[in-house]
Amino acid sequence: MRIVIFFTVVFLILFGLQYLVYSTFRNFIKTKNYSKKFSFAITAYPFIIFNLPFLYLIINRIFSSDTPEWVSRTIFPYFYIFQSATVFIGLYLLIGKIIKSPFSVSIWILNKFSYTKNIIKKFFNSEPVKKIDSSRRTFIKTSAAFVSGYAFAGATLGVLDKNDYEIENMNIRIPNLPKELIGTTISLISDIHSGPYMDENLMKEYADVINDLKSDLIMIPGDFTNSDKKEVHPLVNAFKSLKASKGVFGSLGNHDYFSDAEFVANVISNETPVKLLRNKSEFININGKDLILLGCEDTRQSGSASDPVLMRYYNDTINDAKTKAAEKNLNFDNLTKLVLFHKPYFFEDMKIHNPDLILSGHTHGGQVVIAKFGNVNLSFAGAVSKYISGLYESGNSRMYVSRGIGSVGLPIRFNCKPEITKITLI
Question: What is the chain's pLDDT, residue by residue, as a tens digit (426 residues)?
Answer: 555 565 677 678 888 888 888 888 888 888 777 888 888 888 888 888 888 877 776 666 544 445 666 666 667 777 778 887 888 888 888 888 888 888 778 878 878 888 787 887 777 777 776 676 666 666 566 666 666 776 666 666 656 566 779 999 999 999 999 999 999 999 999 999 998 889 899 999 999 999 999 999 999 999 999 989 999 999 999 999 999 999 999 999 999 999 899 999 999 999 999 999 999 999 999 999 999 999 999 998 887 888 899 999 999 999 999 999 999 999 999 999 999 999 999 999 999 999 999 999 999 999 888 777 777 788 888 888 999 999 999 999 999 999 999 998 778 888 899 999 999 999
Beta strands in 268-308 (DSSP E): 274-276, 280-286, 289-295
SS3 313: helix
Helix (H, G, I), strand (E, B) or coil at 9: helix
**DSSP category for residue 251:** E
pLDDT at position 129, please? 62
| Predicted TM-score of the model (pTM) | 0.78
Q: Which domains does the chain have, with CATH numbers?
A: 2-160 (no CATH), 166-425 (3.60.21)
pLDDT of residue 61: 56
Whole-angstrom distance, CA of residue 424 vs CA of residue 187: 9
Buried b vs exposed e over 48-83: b needs ≥16 C-beta within 10 Å?
Answer: eebbebeeeeeeeeeeeeeeeeeeeeeebeebbbbb
Q: What pairs with residue 340 in β-bridges?
A: 295, 359
Transcribe 1-54 into DSSP letters: -HHHHHHHHHHHHHHHHHHHHHHHHHHHHHTTT--HHHHHHHHHHHHHHTTHHH
Q: Provide Rg for the chain, Cα atoms.
A: 26
How many CA atoms, within 13 angstroms, populate the side-chain half-sphere of residue 420?
Answer: 19
Ordered strands of the 185-188 beta sheet: 166-172, 419-425, 185-188, 217-221, 248-251, 274-276
The DSSP secondary-structure symbol of 254 reads G
Contact, 352 vs 309, CB < 8 A?
no
Residue type present at position 63: F
Could you tell me whether strands 248-251 and 274-276 are parallel, antiparallel, or unpaired per DSSP bridges?
parallel
CA dist 399 and 421 (Å) reads: 13
Neighbour count for residue 211 (Cβ, 10 Å):
15
The predicted pLDDT at position 210 comes to: 97
The DSSP letter of residue 4 is H
Residue among 248, 194, 172 at smallest CA distance from 404: 194
Task: Give the pairing type, strands 280-286 and 289-295.
Answer: antiparallel
Stated as kind and residue range, the H or E segment containing 234 is helix 232-239
- Measured distance CA(194)–CA(197) in Å, rounded: 7
Helix (H, G, I), strand (E, B) or coil at 292: strand
Strands, E assignment, 271-370? 274-276, 280-286, 289-295, 336-340, 357-360
What is the structure's pLDDT at 144? 65
As a whole number of angstroms, the distance between CA 315 and CA 319 comes to 6
**Residue 64: its pLDDT value, please?**
45
Please give the pLDDT value at position 140: 64
